[in-house]
Amino acid sequence: MTLDEVRDLIKQGEGLRVEFKQRFPSYEKFAKEMIAFANTRGGVILLGVDDDKSLYGVESEKSDAELIRETAEKYCEPPVKYSLELFEIDRKEILAVDINESRNKPHRIQDFLPELDLNSAAVYVRVNDKSVLAGKEMIKIMQTQKAGVPLKKYTVGKNEKAVFDYLEKNGEITVKDLSSIANISLRRASRTLINLVRANLLMIHVKENGTEYFTSAS
């Protein structure tokens, strides 16, 4: 990353892949941002920049670097990989925390459980300029993608047809929608939609309030 690129990021403001922090907040809050980027498409956290693009700079690069290291290693499960670069803009030192999209999703806030618990895990994803909690369907999709388990002998049945018919009229569908129109359990509706994502027939999305919905992949 170059100085000009950092200037451009600040000028553009926060977004899907950019987050500003005036100063290091708390381990948990910083872990939330790191996890969201790692679970989505990657991104950059600029430390020393306020939400309104004002430059404050960091007081101690060494201290902040240590806080970030502790956050990535001790407050993210599994740990999040990142790189650090320091830039001077208008006599202010800005610390850029660059996080790539992870191959080890889903990352969650450290809860010291041996395995991820779908009912309690704090898994975050990036939606526009916010980091929001992922729902069970998003987490399950991350898990299947990580495992690399292919769909075998997947056929389109009446439930899948109900999905496509609904999408043709409404554009998007939720687990509750499918459960209602197909008269099936929420669990079965969830499994159907997840399998359609795995088959590259649907895409999953998350709204800023955390609501998950599905749309056609075409």
Q: pLDDT per residue over 17-50, tens digit each? A: 999 999 999 999 999 999 999 999 999 999 999 9
Interacting residues of 23 by C-beta distance below 8 A, sequence separation 6+: 47, 48, 56, 58, 59
* Strand-strand pairing, 212-216 and 202-206: antiparallel
Q: With respect to CATH, is domain 3-134 assigned 3.30.565.10? A: no
More confident residue, 217 or 154: 217
Q: Is 123 exposed, middle or buried (0-12, 13-18, 19+ CB in 10 A)?
A: buried
Q: With respect to CATH, is domain 141-216 assigned 1.25.40.10? A: no
- Equal fold, 3-134 vs 141-216: no
Mean pLDDT of 172-190: 96
Give 86's Cβ-side CA count (13 Å radius). 11
Closest Cα to residue 24, out of 52, 45, 43, 47?
Answer: 47
Mean pLDDT of 189-211: 90
| pLDDT surpassing 70 at residue 149 | no
pLDDT of residue 144: 84
Tokens of 170: 């409404």
Residue 1 pLDDT class (50, 70, 90 cuts): confident
* DSSP letter (8 states) at residue 163: H
Closest Cα to residue 20, out of 42, 52, 66, 68?
Answer: 52
Q: Please report, for the chain, the start and end positions of each structural domain, with discontinuous segments joined by +.
A: 3-134, 141-216
Residue 198 pLDDT class (50, 70, 90 cuts): confident
Residue 106 pLDDT class (50, 70, 90 cuts): very high
pLDDT of residue 209: 87
| pLDDT surpassing 90 at residue 155 | no
pLDDT of residue 118: 92
pLDDT of residue 150: 64
- Taking all residues of the chain, what is their mean pLDDT, rounded to a whole number? 93
pLDDT of residue 146: 77
